[in-house]
Chain A
Amino acid sequence: MIYRSLFPRDFLSELERLQNEVRQNFDISPSIRGFTRGGFPALNIGSTPKSIEIYAFAPGIDPASIDVQIDKGVLTVAGERPSVLPPAEAKATAHIDERFSGRFRRVVTLPDDIDASAVSAKYRDGVLHISIQRREAAQPRRITIQ
């Protein structure tokens, strides 16, 4: 070896691990599932009076291969994203390698008032949109005073 690397090989991933550790320690009571920000797919979650809306940013995946399950009030989104990187024997170089590849699984705890039988899931432009209805009885009602 002519040039010695300044950094250990896995410098960036090491840095990321350190960063996660720092964040986790600053959070006084972190979630039992750890600090998942930065995981794949990225999740945006919102709620309306009638439903819970979950957006999973999972580009480049065949929608048929995504596994969405609701079990005991826990939503799981799992699947696999193939790598585009060239195999080691190919005459090609990966200069930047930032996109996620491999198996993924993300878990979200749902509120108690959801109706697990009224779920719709759509995949569009690389975003999986899961909409879960709240139970009728749990929706806000105006009570008339007699």
Chain B
Amino acid sequence: MNETTAVSKENKAPREEGALAPPVDVIEDAAGITLYADLPGVPKEKLHLHVDAETLTIEGELGLVLPEGIESTHAEVSLPRYRRSFTLSRELDADKVKAEFANGVLTLRIPKAEHALPRKIEIAVA
């Protein structure tokens, strides 16, 4: 093993860390798509959204302040981070995504690109 492989492994490590998939609702209307994601326990500064090519990734880390000397007796949220990716389709305008984050719920609004807005297609009768 040489130095470069060691470095690339280090870079990969955080990606491979286990994460919870947050539950989402995705609703589409004529003008775009609205995505709601539940990320309880994530403070605003630890939420990361990125759009890479056509992949939208939501990542968040839990920011709970635990009291000193706590021993866990039961855990349903067993990992300290959330991660989930979605593939966007071409008609969505990834540059105009609007995000809101309140009380652990992320609301993303992804509008459709101008050219993809609905048009009624006339059916010609032969």
Q: Which residues of A line the B interface, CB within 8 A?
A: 37-38, 41-49, 51, 53, 55, 57-61, 84-86, 90-100, 123, 125-127, 129, 131
Contacts and interface: CB of A to CB of B under 8 A. Distances in A.
A99 B70 CA distance: 30
Interface stretch (B11-19, B28-36, B51-59, B91-99): B28-36
Interface string B88-119: 00000000000000111100000000000000
Interface in B19-71: 23-30, 33, 36, 38-43, 63-64, 66-71
Given A92-B28, A95-B28, A125-B40, A100 B76 contact: no
A131 B64 CA distance: 14
A14 to B, nearest CB: 19
Nearest to B20: A42
A96 B66 contact: no
Contact of B104 (A90, A127, A131): A127
B75 interface: yes
B5 interface: no
Contacts of B121: none
B125 interface: no
B43 A86 contact: no
Contacts of B36: 84, 99
Nearest to A93: B28
B73 interface: yes
Contacts of B33: 95
A49 B30 CA distance: 56
B41 A126 contact: yes
Contact of B25 (A58, A84, A91): A84
A61 B77 CA distance: 18
A4 B69 CA distance: 57
B91 to A, nearest CB: 14
A98 B74 contact: no
Given A45-B74, A46-B72, A60-B38, A92 B29 contact: yes
A56 to B, nearest CB: 9
B72 A44 contact: yes
B66 A53 contact: yes
19 contacts: A42-B76, A44-B77, A59-B39, A59-B104, A60-B102, A60-B105, A86-B29, A91-B29, A92-B27, A93-B27, A93-B29, A97-B25, A98-B23, A99-B38, A125-B41, A125-B42, A126-B104, A127-B64, A127-B104
